[in-house]
Amino acid sequence: MKKTVLNRMSQAIAIVVIGLAAATTAVAQTSGASVDQAFAKELKLVEGLKVYNDQLAKQLDAQQKAKGEIRASIVQSKDLGPQVVPILTKMLGSLEQFINADLPFHLDERKASVGDLKALMLNSEASTSDRFRNIMDIYGVETEYGNTYEAYPGTVGETPVDMLRVGRLGLYYQTKDQKVSGMWDKSAGQWVELDSSHNRDIRKAIKVAAKTIAPELMNLPISAPEGS
């Protein structure tokens, strides 16, 4: 009887020992797998950082190269000053002639811009780049006038009128009572009064340009090209 009990106890202890051994082995295997996964993850992160560092190094090299080129350009631009100024002066002269020969819209404002550019050209503290940038800005504004239309208040003589500019094709006016309309005659260099039959179309075009009505097709008289 005692032997049977002892045998059973020995078997139970053996089973417990075997179970503990199996559990220990499973934990060790699990821990080993976790370590391998963590190591692989860290290794991948290190590789990514290496690639990122390589990219940064290339960017820094490119920036240093760009800085060198900019410095060289600045040095060269100082030498180009005496060559550029005469070109800018010629551009300014051509711009002034163009405005004087163009349709007389916003004339005071445009001539004032030319005057400011002339003063800038004589300013000893102004850099060549400043002069060039300001002249190109005015050239850009003048170019844009050819691609736009607008309505704005103005005067013809001393009479208050509504002005209509259609690109550089035509410049028109209409009195506030809408009874008299006219246009700028390029060949004659003066305002000419139009037949009253144009009043309605010009009024409609003024409203379109002022964006008070939707755009639509209209008939407007156009001054004949010079020399035709």
Please state the pTM of the whole predicted model. 0.62
**Number of continuous H segments (helices) and E segments (strands) in the chain:** 4, 5
> Each residue of 195-211: pLDDT tens digit?
999 999 999 999 999 99
> Each residue of 56-94: pLDDT tens digit?
778 878 877 877 776 666 556 555 567 778 888 899 999
Span 104-121, average pLDDT: 95
pLDDT at residue 80, as a whole number: 57
CA-closest candidate to residue 205, choices 156, 172, 175, 227: 172
